[in-house]
Amino acid sequence: MKHRLFKKVLVANRGEIAVRVMRACHELAISTVAVYSDADRDAIHTRYAGESIHIGGAAPTESYLDLDRVMKAAKDSGAEAIHPGYGFLSERKAFPEACAAAGIAFIGPPASAMDKLGDKLGARELARQHGVPVTPGTEAIGDAKAALEAARTIGLPVIIKPSGGGGGIGMKVVEREEDLRPALESAANAARSAFGDATVYLEKYVRNPRHVEIQVIADQHGHVVHLGERECSIQRRHQKILEESPSPAVTPEIRRRMGAAAVAACRAAGYQNAGTVEFIFSEGEFYFLEVNARLQVEHPVTELVTGMDLVKEQIKVAAGQTLGFEQEDVSWSGHAIEMRINAENPARNFMPNPKKILRWVAPAGPGVRVDSGYGPGSEVPASYDSLVAKLIVHGADRAEAIARAQRALREYVLVGPATTIPYHRAILASPDFKAGKLTTNFIAEHPELLDEMRKFEGEVSPMDYSSVDPRRIAAATAAVAAVIRQ
Protein backbone atom coordinates (compact mmCIF):
# COMPACT_ATOMS: atom_id res chain seq x y z
CA MET A 1 0.00 0.00 0.00
CA LYS A 2 1.36 3.39 -0.95
CA HIS A 3 1.09 5.89 1.88
CA ARG A 4 -0.20 9.35 1.01
CA LEU A 5 1.97 12.38 1.55
CA PHE A 6 1.21 15.03 4.15
CA LYS A 7 -1.13 17.91 3.40
CA LYS A 8 0.68 20.42 5.58
CA VAL A 9 4.24 20.54 6.97
CA LEU A 10 5.63 22.94 9.57
CA VAL A 11 9.32 23.78 9.14
CA ALA A 12 10.89 24.29 12.56
CA ASN A 13 13.85 26.29 11.35
CA ARG A 14 14.89 29.50 9.62
CA GLY A 15 17.08 30.85 6.82
CA GLU A 16 18.20 28.89 3.80
CA ILE A 17 17.29 25.45 5.12
CA ALA A 18 13.72 26.55 5.86
CA VAL A 19 13.35 27.87 2.30
CA ARG A 20 15.00 24.71 0.90
CA VAL A 21 12.52 22.43 2.70
CA MET A 22 9.54 24.58 1.69
CA ARG A 23 10.57 24.44 -1.97
CA ALA A 24 10.48 20.65 -1.86
CA CYS A 25 7.09 20.74 -0.14
CA HIS A 26 5.64 23.06 -2.77
CA GLU A 27 6.82 20.77 -5.56
CA LEU A 28 5.01 17.93 -3.77
CA ALA A 29 1.84 20.07 -3.44
CA ILE A 30 2.23 20.23 0.35
CA SER A 31 1.20 23.39 2.23
CA THR A 32 3.88 24.92 4.45
CA VAL A 33 3.99 26.67 7.81
CA ALA A 34 6.91 28.83 8.95
CA VAL A 35 7.82 29.77 12.50
CA TYR A 36 9.76 32.93 13.20
CA SER A 37 11.33 34.94 16.00
CA ASP A 38 11.36 38.69 16.56
CA ALA A 39 14.62 38.89 14.60
CA ASP A 40 13.07 37.07 11.63
CA ARG A 41 9.77 38.92 11.39
CA ASP A 42 10.56 40.10 7.84
CA ALA A 43 12.76 37.17 6.83
CA ILE A 44 12.31 35.49 3.46
CA HIS A 45 11.27 32.13 4.93
CA THR A 46 8.33 33.78 6.72
CA ARG A 47 7.06 35.21 3.43
CA TYR A 48 7.77 32.09 1.39
CA ALA A 49 5.59 29.84 3.52
CA GLY A 50 1.84 29.52 3.10
CA GLU A 51 1.39 30.75 6.67
CA SER A 52 3.74 32.01 9.38
CA ILE A 53 3.53 31.88 13.16
CA HIS A 54 5.48 34.05 15.58
CA ILE A 55 7.04 31.95 18.36
CA GLY A 56 9.08 34.37 20.48
CA GLY A 57 12.14 36.53 20.98
CA ALA A 58 15.34 36.76 19.00
CA ALA A 59 17.28 34.55 21.42
CA PRO A 60 17.08 30.92 20.19
CA THR A 61 16.05 29.77 23.69
CA GLU A 62 12.99 32.03 23.40
CA SER A 63 11.95 30.77 19.97
CA TYR A 64 13.58 28.09 17.78
CA LEU A 65 14.87 26.12 20.78
CA ASP A 66 11.59 26.30 22.68
CA LEU A 67 10.02 22.92 21.95
CA ASP A 68 6.70 23.80 23.57
CA ARG A 69 6.25 26.87 21.37
CA VAL A 70 7.17 24.94 18.23
CA MET A 71 4.72 22.15 19.06
CA LYS A 72 1.95 24.65 19.85
CA ALA A 73 2.51 26.29 16.44
CA ALA A 74 2.25 22.88 14.77
CA LYS A 75 -0.99 22.02 16.58
CA ASP A 76 -2.55 25.43 16.02
CA SER A 77 -1.77 25.34 12.29
CA GLY A 78 -3.02 21.80 11.79
CA ALA A 79 0.35 20.58 10.46
CA GLU A 80 0.53 16.83 9.94
CA ALA A 81 4.32 16.73 10.04
CA ILE A 82 7.33 18.77 11.18
CA HIS A 83 10.67 19.09 9.38
CA PRO A 84 13.41 20.15 11.84
CA GLY A 85 16.03 21.23 9.28
CA TYR A 86 19.46 21.16 10.92
CA GLY A 87 20.74 22.69 14.13
CA PHE A 88 18.37 23.98 16.84
CA LEU A 89 16.14 21.07 17.95
CA SER A 90 16.90 18.74 15.04
CA GLU A 91 18.94 16.14 16.99
CA ARG A 92 17.16 16.28 20.34
CA LYS A 93 15.25 13.08 20.99
CA ALA A 94 12.62 15.05 22.91
CA PHE A 95 11.47 16.46 19.54
CA PRO A 96 10.37 13.19 17.87
CA GLU A 97 8.98 12.07 21.23
CA ALA A 98 6.82 15.22 21.44
CA CYS A 99 5.69 14.72 17.85
CA ALA A 100 4.71 11.11 18.53
CA ALA A 101 2.74 12.16 21.60
CA ALA A 102 0.89 14.80 19.55
CA GLY A 103 0.18 12.49 16.60
CA ILE A 104 2.39 14.55 14.29
CA ALA A 105 4.97 12.93 12.01
CA PHE A 106 8.61 13.86 12.57
CA ILE A 107 10.58 14.13 9.32
CA GLY A 108 13.73 12.62 10.73
CA PRO A 109 14.92 9.58 12.68
CA PRO A 110 13.01 8.08 15.59
CA ALA A 111 13.92 9.03 19.17
CA SER A 112 15.31 5.52 19.78
CA ALA A 113 17.92 5.96 17.02
CA MET A 114 18.82 9.44 18.26
CA ASP A 115 19.27 8.00 21.74
CA LYS A 116 21.70 5.36 20.50
CA LEU A 117 23.68 7.78 18.32
CA GLY A 118 23.50 11.04 20.27
CA ASP A 119 26.14 9.96 22.75
CA LYS A 120 29.47 9.63 20.96
CA LEU A 121 30.79 6.99 23.35
CA GLY A 122 27.70 4.86 22.90
CA ALA A 123 27.79 5.35 19.13
CA ARG A 124 31.47 4.32 18.99
CA GLU A 125 30.73 1.13 20.87
CA LEU A 126 27.69 0.34 18.71
CA ALA A 127 29.79 0.84 15.57
CA ARG A 128 32.61 -1.33 16.91
CA GLN A 129 30.23 -4.16 17.78
CA HIS A 130 28.96 -4.19 14.20
CA GLY A 131 32.34 -4.30 12.51
CA VAL A 132 32.75 -0.59 11.76
CA PRO A 133 36.38 0.54 12.27
CA VAL A 134 36.93 2.98 15.16
CA THR A 135 40.09 4.73 16.32
CA PRO A 136 41.75 3.46 19.52
CA GLY A 137 40.15 5.26 22.46
CA THR A 138 38.70 5.12 25.93
CA GLU A 139 35.45 5.09 27.82
CA ALA A 140 34.52 8.21 29.81
CA ILE A 141 37.57 9.73 31.50
CA GLY A 142 37.02 11.34 34.89
CA ASP A 143 40.45 12.35 36.16
CA ALA A 144 43.88 13.34 34.94
CA LYS A 145 45.62 10.23 36.27
CA ALA A 146 43.35 7.89 34.32
CA ALA A 147 43.71 10.11 31.28
CA LEU A 148 47.51 9.97 31.50
CA GLU A 149 47.52 6.18 31.75
CA ALA A 150 45.16 5.94 28.78
CA ALA A 151 47.21 8.39 26.72
CA ARG A 152 50.37 6.35 27.34
CA THR A 153 48.55 3.19 26.25
CA ILE A 154 47.03 4.77 23.14
CA GLY A 155 50.12 6.81 22.30
CA LEU A 156 50.38 10.57 21.91
CA PRO A 157 49.00 12.66 20.32
CA VAL A 158 45.44 12.15 21.57
CA ILE A 159 42.29 14.20 21.14
CA ILE A 160 39.88 14.87 24.01
CA LYS A 161 36.23 14.91 22.92
CA PRO A 162 32.93 15.65 24.69
CA SER A 163 30.59 12.68 24.61
CA GLY A 164 27.60 14.88 23.84
CA GLY A 165 27.15 17.73 21.38
CA GLY A 166 29.13 18.51 18.26
CA GLY A 167 30.45 21.29 16.07
CA GLY A 168 33.98 20.82 17.37
CA ILE A 169 33.06 22.43 20.71
CA GLY A 170 35.33 21.31 23.54
CA MET A 171 37.70 19.20 21.44
CA LYS A 172 41.36 19.47 22.44
CA VAL A 173 44.43 17.94 20.79
CA VAL A 174 47.19 17.01 23.25
CA GLU A 175 50.75 16.49 22.01
CA ARG A 176 52.60 16.42 25.38
CA GLU A 177 51.85 14.71 28.68
CA GLU A 178 52.20 17.93 30.67
CA ASP A 179 49.40 19.50 28.62
CA LEU A 180 46.92 16.72 29.36
CA ARG A 181 45.54 17.91 32.72
CA PRO A 182 44.70 21.51 31.67
CA ALA A 183 43.29 20.30 28.33
CA LEU A 184 41.09 17.77 30.13
CA GLU A 185 39.72 20.45 32.46
CA SER A 186 39.16 22.88 29.60
CA ALA A 187 37.34 20.27 27.47
CA ALA A 188 35.11 19.19 30.38
CA ASN A 189 34.22 22.79 31.25
CA ALA A 190 33.40 23.59 27.61
CA ALA A 191 31.25 20.47 27.34
CA ARG A 192 29.40 21.28 30.57
CA SER A 193 28.74 24.84 29.43
CA ALA A 194 27.65 23.96 25.87
CA PHE A 195 25.83 20.66 26.36
CA GLY A 196 25.10 20.37 30.07
CA ASP A 197 27.27 17.24 30.20
CA ALA A 198 30.95 17.31 31.19
CA THR A 199 31.64 13.72 30.07
CA VAL A 200 34.75 13.49 27.87
CA TYR A 201 36.86 10.68 26.43
CA LEU A 202 40.16 10.19 24.61
CA GLU A 203 40.87 9.01 21.08
CA LYS A 204 44.09 8.48 19.19
CA TYR A 205 44.67 11.64 17.16
CA VAL A 206 45.22 10.81 13.51
CA ARG A 207 47.66 13.29 12.00
CA ASN A 208 46.75 14.99 8.74
CA PRO A 209 43.38 13.26 8.42
CA ARG A 210 40.69 13.91 5.90
CA HIS A 211 37.08 14.29 6.99
CA VAL A 212 34.91 12.13 4.73
CA GLU A 213 31.24 11.40 5.33
CA ILE A 214 28.66 9.06 3.83
CA GLN A 215 25.08 10.11 3.13
CA VAL A 216 22.51 7.48 4.12
CA ILE A 217 18.75 7.26 3.59
CA ALA A 218 16.55 4.62 5.25
CA ASP A 219 12.83 3.94 5.12
CA GLN A 220 10.49 2.47 7.74
CA HIS A 221 10.55 -0.97 6.09
CA GLY A 222 14.19 -1.95 6.65
CA HIS A 223 15.74 -0.57 3.48
CA VAL A 224 18.99 1.36 4.02
CA VAL A 225 20.93 2.83 1.09
CA HIS A 226 24.02 5.03 0.96
CA LEU A 227 24.43 7.81 -1.59
CA GLY A 228 28.22 8.06 -1.62
CA GLU A 229 30.70 10.30 0.09
CA ARG A 230 31.43 13.97 0.64
CA GLU A 231 34.87 15.44 1.25
CA CYS A 232 34.57 17.90 4.15
CA SER A 233 38.19 18.55 5.12
CA ILE A 234 38.25 22.33 4.59
CA GLN A 235 37.34 23.49 8.10
CA ARG A 236 37.84 26.36 10.49
CA ARG A 237 37.47 25.70 14.23
CA HIS A 238 36.48 22.10 13.38
CA GLN A 239 33.53 23.41 11.34
CA LYS A 240 33.24 22.93 7.59
CA ILE A 241 33.24 25.81 5.11
CA LEU A 242 33.69 23.96 1.79
CA GLU A 243 32.54 20.49 0.78
CA GLU A 244 32.67 18.43 -2.39
CA SER A 245 31.50 15.16 -3.84
CA PRO A 246 33.01 12.81 -4.73
CA SER A 247 36.16 12.96 -2.60
CA PRO A 248 39.33 13.25 -4.71
CA ALA A 249 40.91 10.61 -2.43
CA VAL A 250 38.19 7.95 -2.41
CA THR A 251 38.34 5.10 -4.92
CA PRO A 252 35.28 3.06 -5.95
CA GLU A 253 36.47 0.21 -3.70
CA ILE A 254 36.91 2.49 -0.68
CA ARG A 255 33.47 4.00 -1.38
CA ARG A 256 31.98 0.51 -1.40
CA ARG A 257 33.60 -0.41 1.94
CA MET A 258 32.90 2.92 3.60
CA GLY A 259 29.30 2.87 2.36
CA ALA A 260 28.80 -0.65 3.68
CA ALA A 261 30.18 0.43 7.08
CA ALA A 262 27.82 3.43 7.18
CA VAL A 263 24.82 1.25 6.33
CA ALA A 264 25.84 -1.26 9.03
CA ALA A 265 26.06 1.48 11.67
CA CYS A 266 22.63 2.83 10.75
CA ARG A 267 21.02 -0.60 10.69
CA ALA A 268 22.46 -1.28 14.15
CA ALA A 269 20.76 1.85 15.49
CA GLY A 270 17.40 1.14 13.82
CA TYR A 271 17.88 4.32 11.83
CA GLN A 272 15.20 5.85 9.56
CA ASN A 273 15.19 8.90 7.26
CA ALA A 274 18.26 10.85 6.08
CA GLY A 275 21.45 10.75 8.10
CA THR A 276 25.19 11.11 7.71
CA VAL A 277 27.95 8.85 9.00
CA GLU A 278 31.21 10.74 9.48
CA PHE A 279 34.65 9.16 9.19
CA ILE A 280 38.28 10.12 9.60
CA PHE A 281 40.16 9.02 6.49
CA SER A 282 43.93 8.69 6.26
CA GLU A 283 46.25 6.72 3.97
CA GLY A 284 43.47 4.54 2.63
CA GLU A 285 42.02 3.68 6.05
CA PHE A 286 38.84 5.06 7.59
CA TYR A 287 37.58 5.28 11.17
CA PHE A 288 34.08 5.97 12.50
CA LEU A 289 33.51 9.42 14.04
CA GLU A 290 29.78 9.89 14.61
CA VAL A 291 26.33 9.88 13.02
CA ASN A 292 24.53 13.16 12.35
CA ALA A 293 20.87 12.31 12.80
CA ARG A 294 19.54 14.97 10.46
CA LEU A 295 19.88 16.57 7.05
CA GLN A 296 23.37 18.01 6.58
CA VAL A 297 24.20 21.57 5.53
CA GLU A 298 26.16 20.13 2.60
CA HIS A 299 23.45 17.79 1.29
CA PRO A 300 23.19 19.65 -2.07
CA VAL A 301 26.50 18.28 -3.38
CA THR A 302 25.12 14.76 -2.98
CA GLU A 303 21.92 15.81 -4.74
CA LEU A 304 23.83 17.21 -7.70
CA VAL A 305 26.00 14.12 -8.29
CA THR A 306 23.21 11.57 -7.71
CA GLY A 307 20.29 13.47 -9.22
CA MET A 308 18.17 12.81 -6.11
CA ASP A 309 16.20 15.31 -4.04
CA LEU A 310 17.06 14.37 -0.47
CA VAL A 311 14.38 16.55 1.14
CA LYS A 312 11.65 14.96 -0.98
CA GLU A 313 13.00 11.53 -0.05
CA GLN A 314 12.90 12.55 3.62
CA ILE A 315 9.25 13.56 3.33
CA LYS A 316 8.25 10.39 1.48
CA VAL A 317 10.03 8.14 3.98
CA ALA A 318 8.45 9.97 6.94
CA ALA A 319 5.04 9.44 5.33
CA GLY A 320 5.69 5.68 5.37
CA GLN A 321 6.58 5.21 1.72
CA THR A 322 9.21 2.68 0.67
CA LEU A 323 12.43 3.88 -0.93
CA GLY A 324 11.94 3.80 -4.67
CA PHE A 325 15.45 2.53 -5.39
CA GLU A 326 18.01 -0.06 -4.30
CA GLN A 327 21.74 0.34 -3.69
CA GLU A 328 22.58 -0.83 -7.19
CA ASP A 329 20.35 1.90 -8.64
CA VAL A 330 22.52 4.66 -7.16
CA SER A 331 25.07 6.19 -9.54
CA TRP A 332 27.25 9.29 -9.47
CA SER A 333 27.79 11.77 -12.28
CA GLY A 334 30.29 14.63 -12.42
CA HIS A 335 31.60 16.64 -9.50
CA ALA A 336 29.95 19.12 -7.11
CA ILE A 337 31.39 21.72 -4.74
CA GLU A 338 29.59 23.70 -2.04
CA MET A 339 30.97 26.91 -0.54
CA ARG A 340 29.40 28.25 2.64
CA ILE A 341 29.00 32.00 2.23
CA ASN A 342 29.22 33.16 5.84
CA ALA A 343 28.93 36.69 7.20
CA GLU A 344 32.39 36.40 8.70
CA ASN A 345 35.75 38.16 8.44
CA PRO A 346 38.42 35.55 7.60
CA ALA A 347 41.19 38.06 8.38
CA ARG A 348 39.92 38.26 11.98
CA ASN A 349 39.83 34.51 12.61
CA PHE A 350 36.44 34.22 10.87
CA MET A 351 34.74 36.50 13.37
CA PRO A 352 31.00 36.84 12.64
CA ASN A 353 30.09 40.14 10.98
CA PRO A 354 26.27 40.45 11.12
CA LYS A 355 25.09 43.51 9.17
CA LYS A 356 22.42 44.61 6.74
CA ILE A 357 22.91 43.39 3.16
CA LEU A 358 23.09 46.54 1.03
CA ARG A 359 23.50 44.94 -2.41
CA TRP A 360 22.89 41.38 -3.52
CA VAL A 361 23.13 39.71 -6.91
CA ALA A 362 23.37 35.91 -6.81
CA PRO A 363 25.40 34.15 -9.51
CA ALA A 364 23.63 32.04 -12.10
CA GLY A 365 24.35 30.21 -15.34
CA PRO A 366 25.05 26.54 -16.12
CA GLY A 367 25.61 24.28 -13.14
CA VAL A 368 25.16 26.97 -10.48
CA ARG A 369 22.78 26.78 -7.53
CA VAL A 370 22.34 29.22 -4.64
CA ASP A 371 20.43 28.25 -1.49
CA SER A 372 19.72 31.22 0.76
CA GLY A 373 17.23 32.81 3.09
CA TYR A 374 18.57 36.33 2.52
CA GLY A 375 18.46 38.99 -0.19
CA PRO A 376 18.97 42.72 -0.77
CA GLY A 377 17.93 44.65 2.33
CA SER A 378 17.98 41.60 4.61
CA GLU A 379 19.41 41.98 8.09
CA VAL A 380 21.85 39.25 9.10
CA PRO A 381 20.95 38.77 12.80
CA ALA A 382 23.65 38.43 15.43
CA SER A 383 21.53 35.86 17.27
CA TYR A 384 22.08 32.98 14.85
CA ASP A 385 24.67 31.15 12.77
CA SER A 386 26.57 33.34 10.31
CA LEU A 387 25.62 31.29 7.23
CA VAL A 388 24.09 33.63 4.64
CA ALA A 389 24.01 31.38 1.58
CA LYS A 390 25.33 28.20 0.08
CA LEU A 391 26.84 28.42 -3.40
CA ILE A 392 26.84 25.01 -5.04
CA VAL A 393 28.23 24.18 -8.47
CA HIS A 394 28.27 21.04 -10.63
CA GLY A 395 30.63 20.17 -13.44
CA ALA A 396 31.48 17.23 -15.63
CA ASP A 397 34.62 16.65 -13.54
CA ARG A 398 36.48 18.27 -10.64
CA ALA A 399 38.44 20.65 -12.86
CA GLU A 400 35.27 22.01 -14.45
CA ALA A 401 33.57 22.27 -11.04
CA ILE A 402 36.49 24.34 -9.70
CA ALA A 403 36.46 26.62 -12.75
CA ARG A 404 32.68 27.02 -12.45
CA ALA A 405 32.98 27.83 -8.74
CA GLN A 406 35.61 30.47 -9.46
CA ARG A 407 33.38 32.05 -12.09
CA ALA A 408 30.33 32.01 -9.82
CA LEU A 409 32.22 33.57 -6.92
CA ARG A 410 33.46 36.36 -9.22
CA GLU A 411 29.84 37.07 -10.19
CA TYR A 412 28.50 37.12 -6.62
CA VAL A 413 27.54 40.60 -5.37
CA LEU A 414 27.12 40.69 -1.59
CA VAL A 415 27.80 44.08 -0.03
CA GLY A 416 27.29 44.91 3.65
CA PRO A 417 28.79 42.28 5.94
CA ALA A 418 32.28 40.90 5.42
CA THR A 419 31.93 37.43 3.87
CA THR A 420 33.93 34.36 3.00
CA ILE A 421 33.53 34.95 -0.75
CA PRO A 422 37.11 36.23 -1.35
CA TYR A 423 38.53 33.54 0.93
CA HIS A 424 36.81 30.83 -1.09
CA ARG A 425 38.35 32.32 -4.23
CA ALA A 426 41.75 32.00 -2.59
CA ILE A 427 41.08 28.36 -1.63
CA LEU A 428 40.04 27.44 -5.17
CA ALA A 429 43.18 29.10 -6.59
CA SER A 430 45.45 27.13 -4.22
CA PRO A 431 47.66 24.58 -6.03
CA ASP A 432 47.22 22.12 -3.14
CA PHE A 433 43.43 22.38 -3.35
CA LYS A 434 43.48 21.91 -7.11
CA ALA A 435 45.67 18.83 -6.62
CA GLY A 436 43.26 17.42 -4.02
CA LYS A 437 45.88 17.57 -1.24
CA LEU A 438 43.43 18.15 1.60
CA THR A 439 43.43 17.56 5.34
CA THR A 440 41.42 19.01 8.22
CA ASN A 441 44.48 21.20 8.88
CA PHE A 442 44.33 22.76 5.41
CA ILE A 443 43.44 26.29 6.59
CA ALA A 444 46.00 26.30 9.41
CA GLU A 445 48.68 25.04 7.04
CA HIS A 446 47.91 27.64 4.36
CA PRO A 447 48.18 31.06 6.04
CA GLU A 448 49.02 32.53 2.64
CA LEU A 449 45.33 32.22 1.75
CA LEU A 450 44.67 35.45 3.66
CA ASP A 451 47.14 37.32 1.46
CA GLU A 452 45.65 35.74 -1.65
CA MET A 453 42.18 36.69 -0.44
CA ARG A 454 43.10 40.37 -0.33
CA LYS A 455 43.75 40.31 -4.08
CA PHE A 456 40.06 39.63 -4.61
CA GLU A 457 38.56 41.90 -1.95
CA GLY A 458 38.65 45.10 -3.99
CA GLU A 459 37.53 43.48 -7.22
CA VAL A 460 34.14 44.62 -8.52
CA SER A 461 31.81 41.92 -9.80
CA PRO A 462 30.76 42.31 -13.44
CA MET A 463 27.19 41.85 -12.16
CA ASP A 464 27.37 44.86 -9.82
CA TYR A 465 25.78 47.82 -11.60
CA SER A 466 25.82 50.05 -8.53
CA SER A 467 29.06 51.74 -9.63
CA VAL A 468 27.91 52.37 -13.21
CA ASP A 469 27.00 55.96 -14.10
CA PRO A 470 23.16 55.97 -14.34
CA ARG A 471 23.43 58.24 -17.39
CA ARG A 472 25.23 55.44 -19.24
CA ILE A 473 22.45 52.99 -18.31
CA ALA A 474 19.78 55.48 -19.46
CA ALA A 475 21.61 56.05 -22.75
CA ALA A 476 21.93 52.33 -23.38
CA THR A 477 18.25 51.78 -22.60
CA ALA A 478 17.27 54.57 -24.98
CA ALA A 479 19.44 53.08 -27.72
CA VAL A 480 17.82 49.66 -27.32
CA ALA A 481 14.35 51.25 -27.40
CA ALA A 482 15.23 53.12 -30.60
CA VAL A 483 16.30 49.87 -32.28
CA ILE A 484 13.08 48.16 -31.21
CA ARG A 485 10.96 50.99 -32.67
CA GLN A 486 12.62 50.70 -36.09
- Residues catalogued as catalytic: 294
Amino acid type, 333: S
In contact, 248 and 399? CB cutoff 8 Å? no
Identify the CA nearest to 379 among candidates 360, 393, 365, 364: 360
Sign of CA dihedral 214, 220, 221, 222: positive
- Residue 293 near residue 274, CB atoms below 8 Å: no
Give the number of residues written for the chain.
486
202 touches 154 (CB < 8 A)? yes
Q: Are 323 and 223 in contact (CB under 8 A)?
A: yes
Closest by Cα among 346, 424, 348 to 390: 424
Antiparallel, parallel or unpaired: β 31-37 and 8-11: parallel
Backbone angles phi, psi at 477, to 5 degrees: -65, -40
Three-state secondary-structure class, residue 441: coil
Q: How many CB atoms lie within 10 A of CB 144?
A: 14
The one-character DSSP state at 124 is H
Nearest CA to 429 out of 469, 456, 466 is that of: 456
- Whole-angstrom distance, CA of residue 374 vs CA of residue 372: 6
Amino acid at 349: N
The H-or-E segment that residue 161 falls in is strand 158-162
Bridge partner list, 215: 276
* Spatial separation of the C-alpha atoms in residues 98 and 234, rounded to whole Å: 36
Yes or no: say if 268 and 129 are a contact pair by the CB < 8 Å rule.
Answer: yes
